[in-house]
């Protein structure tokens, strides 16, 4: 598959004065030159395009390709709701913030619009020309109105009259019925009518909001279909029977549309007395934020599209005409069908490390050695089992845990509830402002409180993103601590879909650091000194900059020097400048950045020693690792933090050291597999393009996720392709 790539309108000349070392020549390089930085939102858009590209990769099973296409839809929804909305807000308030790339919001918006229009058009072309025909060949059909048989028409009419029509509230537009306030991302129809109604009204227009409680995809009964699975879209049903909603009127046209609104929450910490109560109010208002995008069916007449744009205060550039359903994410029902194993990734069973395979007492195992787990290839169950064991163990006195993303009925929350009910001191630091998980977090916080747990909402104005669990246990005359630290969330579902590290440890110094961090989160006091743990917003960025500078000094002294980072995003200007300086000094730098990367690699005289790769595959690459060669004594940290301003300056984050050659080597070996992947990886070039790495004709295909699965789960496990 040749990846469809779009240039990010990079400057024609990204070269800067050459510098060969860290001395005077390096000092002459202007590292604030905006040509050295890629715009954040444009980089995020490029990541979304890389996700869409997966829908064309024929090595990937068909239903998984459909999932990638639908994930692109979800990503674009959030991109408009948060990132585009933010840029629009800056422009509207005449408060344009210009980043290191030097691109003002108005120019960025114009480039985003051009790229997004092309990619959304391309998405529907992939769906209509590639995915749907291939699904039909396997007996999976979305049956269009023009294809309904007589029996299907009768069944659809009955379903519409029994299940749909009673819930629909059509709204005629006239002076007493102004244009309704429509919910963010809801399915709606604009209907052109002819005739005069019972009250003498003849405005000629109506809006039909589709009931949100109804499924958007309805399976047709087997007895009225040919073999396979056959579905009808709710939008098709409403189109076919629109006249029944307007008795005696003639429907001249019925066109679906969907409005995307600003969904970012705007809580002012200084005006909030009760965060939970304020957040509940904000969640309601999120549904009705300012409009940022209008999607309409591509057969919608221009005058109706213009009418809608005017109603929502949008420009023509914010109109997206689509050839298909306006909300493709609703097709996830098809993508998740269990009856087609040949069209899905093969199942696998996550492995257990040797030390845990027959362990009945996890405290005993962790008391003797640190246990490092790489999910999803290795099971997340030891983390849950440790918490369950702690909940029922009479020697356990207290449990403290951070919760960022999980759900109210998860096994993790169940165990915490059991522990609280058993009389243990349970403290949960629940981050209510985990974007799009706020409602779930409010529910789980309430459930924990009702069980008797102490629930803390972190620090006002600073999100608690660290992934920590601390268990305090009485063993003889001693109080012994056990900790879990992770790069991912306490969400058992995500642990099957995301790559993340977990460390289970009883290291006294590290557990003491975790205890101190919980004390800072729940109480008040001066900054406490940590022996091993790095934590934002205090020591994490400072220490990373120091370690980069140290590697730079090694290179300047002629010593071998290398840095490997694996993160989801890299945007922090000071970190980028430090990496540029290290590259100029001769440090070999490999960056595995799944999503946004504002650093521009391969620029002559600046970043020639930096390589950036993005890997998108079966599992979401979510783990963060920071590795430094450090003159033959490698330093390695795993972290909850990405290299972004928000993570390093405005969040509670942690980075925990991996000590001991055996565990360090495990992580290093995995990082090397990422760096030699020639199947899923794309390399970022200095002009902003992502391209496949060049490979020799005889070179074997290497897919890091398939390799890790085979290595950790065994040869029988399903590969990622």
Rounded to the nearest angstrom, the gap between the alpha carbon of residue 360 and the centroid of all alpha carbons in its chain is 36
Reply yes or no on whether 529 is catalytic: no
Question: How remote is the C-alpha of 574 from its chain's centroid?
Answer: 24
Which residues, in sequence order, are CB contacts of 285 under 8 Å at separation 6+? none
The answer to whether the annotation marks 433 as part of a ligand binding site is no
First to last CA, the chain: 13
How is residue 91 written in tokens? Answer: 């422009």
Cβ 376 vs Cβ 619: under 8 Å = yes
The CA–CA distances, whole Å, from 259 to 289, 294, 570 equal 10, 5, 31
E-assigned strands of 264-330? 291-297, 319-322
Question: Does the annotation flag 375 for ligand binding?
Answer: no
Closest listed residue to residue 433, CA positions, set 456, 395, 393, 404: 404
Please tell me which residue in 239, 241, 465, 554 is annotated as part of the active site: 465
Joined tokens for residue 86: 């933010």
What is d(CA 333, CA 651) in angstroms, rounded to the nearest whole number? Answer: 35
Positive/negative CA dihedral, 537, 539, 542, 548? negative
Does 622 belong to an annotated binding site? yes
Strands lying side by side in the sheet with 229-233: 140-142, 229-233, 217-219
Q: How far apart (Å, rounded) are the C-alpha atoms in residues 635 and 487?
A: 17
Which helix (DSSP H) or strand (DSSP E) does residue 41 occupy?
A: helix 40-53
**Strand, helix or coil at 571?**
coil
d(CA 645, CA 663): 30
Residue 219 labeled ligand binder: no
List C-alpha distances in Å: 537 to 79, 109, 435, 461.
Answer: 26, 31, 20, 12
Strand partners, 472: 398, 481
DSSP string, 642-667: -BSHHHHHSEEEEEEE--SHHHHHHH
Q: Is 594 annotated as a binding residue?
A: yes
Q: Is 669 annotated as a binding residue?
A: no
Backbone angles phi, psi at 462, to 5 degrees: -130, 120
Q: Distance between CA 525 and CA 97 in Å, rounded?
A: 34
Buried b (16+ CB within 10 A) or exposed e, 482-517: bbbbbbbbbbbebbeebbbbbbbbbbeebbbbbbbb
Does residue 627 sit in helix, strand or coil?
strand
Closest CA to 6 of 31, 42, 40: 42
Pairing of strands 534-536, 635-639: unpaired
Q: How far is CA 354 from CA 371, 373, 405, 662, 710, in A?
A: 10, 11, 29, 14, 16
Rounded (5°) CA angle 309-310-314: 50
Give the residue carrying structure tokens 């209510």.
432
Contact residues for 265 (Cβ-Cβ < 8 A; gap 6+): 279, 282, 283, 286, 433, 435, 438
Specify binding-site residues for Mg(2+). Answer: 405, 435
Point out the residues that are catalytic.
465
Specify binding-site residues. Answer: 75, 405, 435, 498, 594, 622
Specify binding-site residues for ATP. Answer: 75, 498, 594, 622
């Amino acid at each position: 598959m040749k990846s469809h790539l779009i240039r990010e309108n990079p400057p024609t000349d990204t070269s800067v004065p050459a510098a060969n070392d860290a001395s005077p020549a390096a000092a002459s390089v202007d590292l604030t030159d905006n040509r050295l930085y890629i715009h954040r939102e444009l980089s995020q858009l490029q990541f979304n395009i890389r996700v869409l590209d997966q829908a064309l990769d024929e090595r990937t099973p068909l239903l998984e390709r459909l999932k990638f296409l639908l994930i692109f839809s979800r990503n674009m929804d959030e991109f408009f709701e948060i990132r585009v909305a933010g840029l629009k807000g800056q422009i509207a308030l005449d408060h344009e913030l210009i980043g290191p790339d030097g691109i003002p919001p108005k120019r960025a918006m114009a480039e985003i619009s051009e790229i997004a229009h092309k990619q959304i058009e391309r998405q529907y072309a992939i769906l209509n020309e590639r995915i749907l025909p291939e699904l039909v060949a396997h007996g999976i059909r979305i049956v269009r109105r023009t294809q309904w048989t007589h029996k299907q028409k009768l069944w659809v009419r009955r379903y519409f009259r029994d299940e749909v029509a009673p819930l629909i509230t059509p709204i005629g537009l006239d002076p007493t019925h102004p244009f309704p306030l429509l919910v963010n991302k809801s399915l709606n129809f604009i209907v052109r009518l002819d005739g005069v109604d019972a009250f003498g009204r003849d405005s000629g227009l109506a809006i039909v909001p589709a009931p949100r409680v109804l499924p958007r995809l309805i399976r047709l009964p087997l007895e009225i279909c040919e073999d396979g699975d056959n579905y009808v879209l709710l939008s098709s049903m409403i189109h076919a029977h629109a006249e029944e909603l307007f008795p005696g009127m003639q429907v001249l046209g019925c066109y679906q549309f969907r409005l995307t609104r600003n969904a970012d929450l705007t809580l002012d910490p200084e005006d909030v007395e009760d965060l939970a109560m304020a957040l509940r109010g904000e969640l309601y208002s999120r549904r009705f934020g300012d409009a940022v995008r209008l999607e309409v069916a591509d057969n919608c007449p221009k005058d109706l599209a213009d009418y809608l744009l005017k109603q929502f205060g949008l420009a023509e550039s914010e109109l997206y005409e689509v050839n298909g359903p306006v909300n493709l994410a609703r097709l996830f029902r098809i993508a998740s069908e269990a009856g087609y194993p040949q069209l899905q990734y093969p199942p696998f069973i996550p492995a257990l490390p040797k030390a845990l395979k027959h362990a009945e007492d996890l405290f005993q195992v962790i008391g003797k050695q640190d246990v490092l787990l790489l999910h999803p290839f290795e099971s997340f169950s030891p983390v849950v089992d440790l918490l369950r064991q702690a909940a029922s163990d009479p020697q356990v006195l207290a449990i403290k845990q951070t919760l960022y993303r999980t759900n109210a009925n998860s096994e993790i929350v169940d165990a915490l509830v059991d522990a609280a009910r058993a009389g243990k001191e349970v403290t949960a630091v629940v981050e209510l402002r985990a974007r799009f998980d706020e409602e779930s977090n409010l529910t789980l916080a309430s459930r924990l409180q009702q069980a008797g747990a102490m629930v803390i909402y972190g620090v006002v104005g600073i999100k608690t993103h660290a992934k920590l669990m601390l268990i305090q246990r009485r063993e003889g005359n001693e109080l012994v601590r056990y900790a879990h630290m992770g790069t991912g969330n306490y969400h058992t579902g995500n642990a099957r879909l995301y790559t993340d590290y977990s460390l289970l440890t009883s290291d006294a110094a590290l557990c003491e650091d975790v205890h101190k961090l919980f004390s800072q989160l729940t109480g008040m006091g001066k900054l406490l000194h940590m022996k091993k743990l790095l934590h934002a917003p205090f020591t994490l960025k400072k220490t990373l900059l120091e370690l980069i500078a140290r590697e730079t000094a090694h290179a300047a002294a002629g010593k071998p020097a290398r840095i490997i980072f694996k993160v989801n995003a890299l945007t922090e200007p000071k970190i980028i400048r430090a990496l540029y300086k290290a590259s100029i000094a001769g440090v070999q730098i490999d960056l595995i950045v799944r999503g946004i990367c504002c650093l521009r690699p391969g620029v002559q005289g600046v970043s020639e020693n930096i390589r950036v790769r993005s890997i998108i595959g079966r599992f979401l690459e979510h783990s963060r690792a920071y590795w430094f060669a450090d003159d033959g004594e490698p330093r390695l940290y795993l972290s909850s933090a990405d290299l972004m301003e928000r993570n390093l300056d405005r969040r509670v984050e942690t980075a925990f050291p991996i000590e001991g050659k055996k565990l360090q080597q495990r992580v290093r070996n995995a990082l090397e597999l990422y760096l030699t992947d020639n199947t899923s990886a794309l390399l970022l070039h200095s002009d902003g393009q992502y391209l496949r790495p060049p490979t020799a004709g005889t070179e074997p295909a290497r897919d890091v996720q398939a390799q890790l699965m085979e290595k950790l789960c065994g040869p029988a496990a399903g590969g990622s392709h």
